[in-house]
Homo-oligomer: A and B are copies of this chain.
């Protein structure tokens, strides 16, 4: 929700909610856009990222935070650009050996470099550190150029109910559905287990409250943005913040830009349309970027712009982030003029 910003002259405080690959790419575009800006209000902007952690999983005893790592690696220059996740120039010496041992699960391959990250994380957590502290420590190395916060320091893991062959249902971790089954088996329900009892990580609510602009990248509205919203307090903070909340549709032409968001939307009974996704954010969304080919949502107080949404290259991605920021600042100005 939007309210007047007292002083738009100082560098912007931008807060973004983000999932993994798509969110990370958008954020890199945002940083590129800001770095190239002439206006110090943008050029010197400070960005805080609230990361989904409900994809987190423990595999082979290692605590893995895929979305935090995707953002960290992407913004820190370590991402595998082809896959979009994991480390560049990665090897799989450990994974090959785990396979020989028959260690389960075998459907999630961990790269050697990536394992080092998980070892540092797992050890720190075992020694009593919070996920926030772990993330800050890892970011000392990666210098992602944003303040990267997990949505919560509590354990939240998205589980998915699948129809069994005999009419029963079986529950699997989101990663098993996503990575092993490629979300090809319809989900009956998707639940971020632990979210209802979780507390936002230190700084999360303040980052929403004190932001000049809140941005929603085109991340998965169910299992990325949606899980962040289920941590008590975050959704209320978005509705209460003085900053405009501007999002980018993850749906282009009735299909997810990337990934299998349609399978997630189907599980919660929501059509794969830009308008329907905006409807999931209705209580706090002020601005929405949709593709030319999509039907824009019509709702009082929601400002929609049609823009090219494909993050096809760094330039297009930076332009998309710039367009989101343009809309947000336009809303700030309109509010100030009112």
Contact = CB atoms under 8 A, between A and B. Distances in A.
A138 interface: yes
Given A94-B94, A94-B115, A100-B141, 19 more contacts: A61-B122, A91-B91, A91-B93, A91-B112, A94-B119, A95-B116, A96-B113, A97-B113, A97-B115, A97-B116, A97-B117, A98-B116, A98-B119, A98-B120, A101-B138, A101-B141, A103-B119, A103-B123, A115-B115
A229 B119 CA distance: 34
- Residue of A61, A62, A98, A123 with most chain B CB atoms under a 10 A cut-off: A61
A138 to B, nearest CB: 7
Interface of A: 60-62, 90-91, 93-98, 100-103, 111-113, 115-117, 119-120, 122-123, 126, 138, 141
Interface of chain A, main secondary structure: helix
Q: How many copies does the complex hold?
A: 2
Contacts of A123: 60-61, 103
Contacts of A91: 91, 93, 112
A141 B141 CA distance: 37
Nearest to A62: B119
A44 to B, nearest CB: 29
A33 to B, nearest CB: 29
Given A100-B141, A101-B138, A94 B113 contact: yes
A91 to B, nearest CB: 5
Contacts of A112: 91, 93-94, 97, 112
Contact of A60 (B90, B98, B119, B141): B119
B141 A61 contact: no
A219 B115 CA distance: 34
A93 B119 contact: no
A62 B115 CA distance: 12
Contacts of A62: 119
A136 to B, nearest CB: 13
A94 B96 CA distance: 13
B61 A126 contact: yes
Instruction: Across the A-B interface, give the 5 residue pairs with the lowest CB-CB distance, nearest first.
Output: A93-B112, A97-B116, A61-B123, A91-B93, A97-B113
Contacts of A119: 60-62, 94, 98, 103
A192 B22 CA distance: 53
